[in-house]
Amino acid sequence: MPEQCTVQQAIILCLLFLPFICNVPVASSTILFFQQVHANYASSKNTQCRHSETFQLIVVLGLNLVVSLMYFVLFGYGIHNMLSHRHEAGLIYSPARSAVTYEAKVVDDSVPAAFAGPPSLETDAAWQRLLKCTRKIYIKHDNNLVVQKEDLNQVDRSSVSLRDGSGYLASLSVYHQLHCLNYIRQYAFPDYYTRGDGKLGSSVHIYHCIDTLRRIIMCHGDITPRTFEWSDLERHPVMKPRSVHECRKWEPIETYAKSHVPSRANGPILENPESG
């Protein structure tokens, strides 16, 4: 029996110091309990360990294990939440910031997309669905939403007020960028997209869109590494089409835009004060 007590004393000492080694927070009452039990064993003249103390030791050990597991679970959740929202604070305010979450997204350049390829009804429909998630007002192809005075104050800007007094006119920049990309796409097929007057659009507009996308691409500065492989068709290495990028999830942003569409329930959305 003394050998059993010696083993139990060793277990108590291990349990007492293990939380500190693992850097796991433990309640002070738990530590005091372990110290008291160890003292009882050390000072006891009886060579037989009491069953009640052994039972208490098992109970406290179980509780300590539960607390430790809860700590690691909550710690892991906190790390995951921090990683998925680590950019949320941002340097520039946006009313849509709450819709931003991040994901690792596989991009495969070799897979045909509905938005690419020669002009077709299917391709145009895909772009229309992407650009018309919110109502157009007067700015062609741009997607608009309602913001409040507080939102404008956050970025030190002003905007056009809505006719019904519900807020002010705004738009998420991503929709202007998508519009520019679609405009360049159409410009590449003048025979298909030429208007009735024989013109596709202003060259100034094209130059604006090209430089807008250039600025935005450089602004976001995607630093995802791209790798290479040998090809039977080329004498030099070619870039692999598949890569994994850190992306903002698109669906929550689109959902936010849809939920902030200016209402047409009370008639026209805008009214120019200078038009009388």
Q: Three-class SS of residue 111?
A: coil
Handedness of CA 217, 90, 174, 109 (dihedral sign): positive
At 274 the pLDDT is: 73
At 112 the pLDDT is: 85
Q: Which residues of the chain have pLDDT under 50?
A: 3-4, 21, 24, 45, 83-84, 134-142
CA distance 91 to 94: 10
Predicted TM-score (pTM) of this structure: 0.66
pLDDT digits (tens, 9 = 90+) for 152-177: 999 999 999 998 899 999 999 999 99
Query: What letter would DSSP give residue 160?
Result: P
Burial grade of 164 (CB within 10 A; 0-12, 13-18, 19 or more): middle
